[in-house]
Structure 1
C-alpha cells in the first residue's frame, strides 16, 4: 500500500469543518488545574533530523505512552513516539481523572445482545485488568497520581432513572458478577452527598479517581527509563510508505519505521492516512474547578465521599471533590470550539453547578478547560491492525472512559507487535476495523442533532 504524498502545514491536519483551529493548537493554553499541579513537564525537545526505528507511535497520550513503555521494557523493541503538542497534551491530560469502566456508549444489555454473554464478560474482564494495570503502573514506577476513592457512584438525577440503575445493577450482578450496591435517595443523602438532582444511586467497586496529567507524565518518565524515544511538539504532517518502510514527516525531521501505531483518539488528524479519514467523532467535554471548599460548605451538601461521581443524564455531569477540597464539575456541550463557545460553556457549567449544588452556587471558579471525547460510528473502541496493511496498528475510541482502557490498549498493541498476542485476543467489543461515518463532513451536524435529542430526553 502506498499513502499519497500530501504536503501541507501541520494546521491543515485539523480541518475547520470539524472544530475551531484553536482546539488543535498547542500554543493555546489549556488552562487546566491539572497543568498547574502536575509538576515537571516531560516533553523535552522536538524531533529533529532523520532517524529510523522499528516501531513509530503517533500520539503521546495514555495509549501511545503505554505502548512505548511496554514495547521498550517488555520486548526490547526500538520505539520512537511523536506527539503534536506536549506529552499528555490531549485528553490524557485534560480528563476528569475517572479511572473506571467502560469505553463504550452501548448499554450493558445491548452489548450482551450483540456479542453474547461470554464475549461481554470477556470485555468487562479487560476493564478489571485495565483498572488494576493503572494501579500497578503507578506503584511499580513510583508515580504520584493522587489516587482517591474506592469505586465510583452513578447518581440518578430523577426518580425514573433510579429504576434504570436498578436494572443496571441486576445485570452487573447476574451477568458480569460485579460488586455493586444500590442506595435509595435517603441513604445517598446521608452517606454520600445530597443535592437538587439526587434520587438514589448505584456504587460500583471497579474504579477510583486520580490526577490524570501526573499519570501521563509518569508514563512518559517510565517509558524513557525503559529506552523509548519520546518527542513532543512534533506533529506528523505527512505519512508515506515506500518499499515496506513508513516515512513520517514532522516540521523538523523525518522518521522511518517498519511499523506504526496510530494512537491519537479524539485528536486524530484528517487526511493523514486514508484508512482513518472520517472514522472518529470528537465530542467536546468541559470542566470547571472551584477554589477549595470549606468544611462548612462541604457539610451544606453533606458531601462525604472520596469516590468520583457521574449522574444519569444523557448529557451527563461528572464531578468529584479533589484531594485539596476543590470541586470539579464537568459536562458535555458546544459543537464549534470557538473562544466564544468556551466562555458560554464556562458560564453554563458554573450556573448548572449552582443549580445542582445550591450551597456552592457562589463559590468562585478558578479553572476552566475543555477537550475531546472520542466517539466511533459503532459506539465502541477500535483496536487492531489494518487488514490492507498489517504494519499499521491502531487503538482509539474510548467514549470518555480511556483513563484505564487506553493504557491497557497500549500494552495490548505492544503484545500484538511483539507476537505475544493475536487478533483473537482482542474482545469483539473492542476489535476493529474503524468504520467511516457516512458523509464524514456532516459529523458535527450529527452531533448537533444528538445533543438536541439528549437535551430533550433529559428533561
Structure 2
C-alpha cells in the first residue's frame, strides 16, 4: 500500500480511546485464506462496502468483502454518529452553475434519500442503534451568520420538501440550546445514532444474505487477468469479475492506481464525556438531545446522547504522529471547555480521531473508475458519510448488476480530478486551513 500520511495515521494510535468500541463488538471472523472465486470483491468494510455487500448479496450475487483491519475500524466506526444531509460541499448557486437547477435538485434529493435509506435499514433489520434527535440544528457562532441561515432556510423546502425552523437567539434557552450562539436553523431530516452499532448490524445483515466478510485481509496486490481481477492478501487470493473500492479516507494510492492523487484525507477529532448528572445538564442549560453543529468552516459538532454522555467533535489536524495527536486532543478539549464552560471540569472519558475524505470538486464520486474496467468506487463524503456512504453502496450494487439505480445524480457521476502535487498534496492544506480559521474567528 502507498498512502499519503505516515504509518501512525493508519495504526491504532488515533483510534485508541474510541467510545464506540466499548458499546459494540465485532464477532470473530477468519481472515481470507486460500483461493476464492466470486462474482464481486469489495475492498473495505465500512458503510459503503457493507451496504454494497448487503444489497448485492440480497440480489443473489456472490460477494466477498476484504478488510485490512476489522469492520468499522476506519471512519465508519469512529465518527460522531450524525446521520444527516450532506456528502458534498457545494452551494446551490455553484451546483446550478455547474449542472443546472434540475441536477442540483436531484443531488439534494439524493441527500434526503440517503438519510431515508439508513432509517429504513434500521427499521427493517430491527437494529438497536441508540437513535435520537429530530433532524439537525445549525447554530450561528457569530451574529452575522444568522443572515446566512435565514437565506439558507428559504431554499430548504425547494431542496428537501420540508419546512425548517428558525430559532432566534432569545429563544435558544427555551429549546434547551443555551450557549454563546446567536440563533439557529433546524432542518427536520436526520438523526443521531451509534455509528458502530449501525455498522455491525449492517455487516450481520450482509452475512445473513450470504456475503462473506474477511477481516485482517489487506490487499497487497491488484492485477487484472483477462476477464478477472486478481487481488492478493497475506494469506489468500480472490478472483472476481467485478471490484468495488470502498476505502474512502483510508485509501491507498495504488489500490487501484486510478485513485492516486484523487482524494484528500483530513482528520476529525471526537471526545465523549462521562455521563452527566441532571444537575450538570441543567447548569449548562443544554438539555436538548438534538444533533447540532455550528457555522464555522472548521466546524464543531455535538450532541447529548441517550446515556447522558456528551459528544463533541471538530475538524482539524493536518499532521500525523503521536505528538500531533496529543496536540489535537488538547485542542479539542480546549474548544469544548470554551463552548460549554459549565462542563469544563467534567471528565472527558474518551478521545479519538479518524480521517474523513474530500474531493477536489467538493462532491462525492460513485461510479466506474475507468469505462469498461469493471472496477467501481464510492468515496469522498466530506465528513457526512453515515447516510451518503450507505446510499453510495446501494448505488454501486445496482451498477455492478447492470441495473439503473433509482437515484444517481449527475453530480455524483463526475470522475474525481487529481489534486496537485501527487502524494505531497497534503501540503496544500495548511494555508487553506489557516485562511478558514481566520475567517471563522473574524467578527
What's the TM-score bracket when you normalise by the shorter of the two chains?
A: over 0.9
Superposition deviation, residue 28 in structure 1: 7.2
Which residue pairs with 1:162 in the alignment? 146
Give the conservation status (yes or no) of the 8 Å contact 1:108–1:168.
no
CA contact (8 A) 1:138 1:215 kept: yes
Indicate how the Cα distance of structure 1 residues 53 and 130 shifts in structure 2: closer, same or farther if over 3 A, else same.
same
> For residue 435 of structure 2, what is the aligned residue in structure 1?
453
Shift of 1:176: 4.5
* Deviation per residue, 1:404-438 (Å, 9 max, x gap): 1111111111111112216x952122113121112
One of 255, 260, 277 as aligned partner of 1:294: 277
Asked if structure 2 preserves the Cα contact closer than 8 Å seen for 1:54 and 1:259, the reply is yes
CA distance in 2 between counterparts of 1:226 and 1:375 reads: 32
Distance 1:411 1:307, change over 3 A: same
Q: Which runs of 4+ in 1 moved over 4 A?
A: 26-29
Q: Is the 8 A contact 1:43 1:86 kept in 2?
A: no
Residue among 176, 193, 213 paired with 1:192 = 176
**Alignment partner of 1:30 is 2:16:** yes
330-339 or 312-321: bigger deviation? 330-339
CA contact (8 A) 1:19 1:335 kept: no
User: Aligned residue for 1:343?
Assistant: 326
Report the equivalent of 1:219.
Answer: 202
Cα RMSD of the aligned pairs, angstroms, is 1.5
Q: Deviations over 1:14-47 (max 9, x none)?
A: 44xx322122125875321111111x31351111
Partners of 1:331 and 1:181 in 2: CA distance: 24
| Contact kept? 1:26, 1:85, Cα under 8 Å | no
Is 1:123 the counterpart of 2:107? The answer is: yes
Indicate the SS of the match to 2:368. strand
Partner Cα separation in structure 1 for residue 203 and residue 411 of structure 2: 28
| CA distance in 1 between partners of 2:329 and 2:355 (Å) | 16
* Structure 1 equivalent of residue 266 of structure 2: 283
| Aligned partners of 1:280 and 1:437 also within 8 Å | yes
Aligned to 1:357: 340
Q: Determine helix, strand or coil for the equivalent of 2:172.
A: helix
Q: Report SS of the residue matched to 1:159.
A: coil
Q: In terms of mean alpha carbon deviation, does 351-360 or 170-179 score higher? A: 170-179
TM-score under structure 1 length normalisation: 0.93
What is the aligned partner in structure 2 of residue 434 from structure 1? 416
- Asked if 2 retains the 8 angstrom alpha-carbon contact of 1:52 and 1:256, the reply is yes
Alignment map for 1:86-105 (pairs within 5 Å): 86-105=70-89
Contact 1:14 1:21 (C-alpha < 8 Å) held by counterparts: no
Determine the structure 1 residue equivalent to 2:41.
Answer: 56
1:81 counterpart SS class? strand
Of 148, 166, 169, which aligns to 1:182? 166
CA distance in 2, matches of 1:233, 1:322: 32
Greater mean alpha carbon deviation, residues 243-252 or residues 114-123: 114-123
Aligned residue in 2 for 1:4: none
Structure 2 length normalisation: TM-score? 0.96
CA distance in 1, matches of 2:324, 2:46: 25
- Report SS of the residue matched to 2:35: strand
Alignment of 1:293-442 (within 5 A): 293-421=276-404, 426-442=408-424
Deviation at 1:178, TM superposition (A): 3.0
**Residue 238 (structure 1) aligned with residue 224 (structure 2):** no
Measured after TM superposition, the shift of residue 271 of structure 1 is: 2.0
**More displaced 10-residue stretch of structure 1: 218-227 or 180-189:** 180-189
Q: Does residue 6 of structure 2 align to residue 20 of structure 1?
A: yes
Length, aligned pairs only: 441
Q: Which moved more, 1:106-115 or 1:366-375?
A: 106-115
CA contact (8 A) 1:22 1:338 kept: yes
Deviations 1:231-256 (A, max 9, x none): 11111011000112100011111100
Contact 1:117 1:175 in 2 (8 A): no
Question: 3-state DSSP class of the match of 2:328?
Answer: helix
Gaps of 5+ in 1: 1-12
User: 1:41–1:174: structure 2 CA closer, same or farther, 3 Å change rule?
Assistant: closer
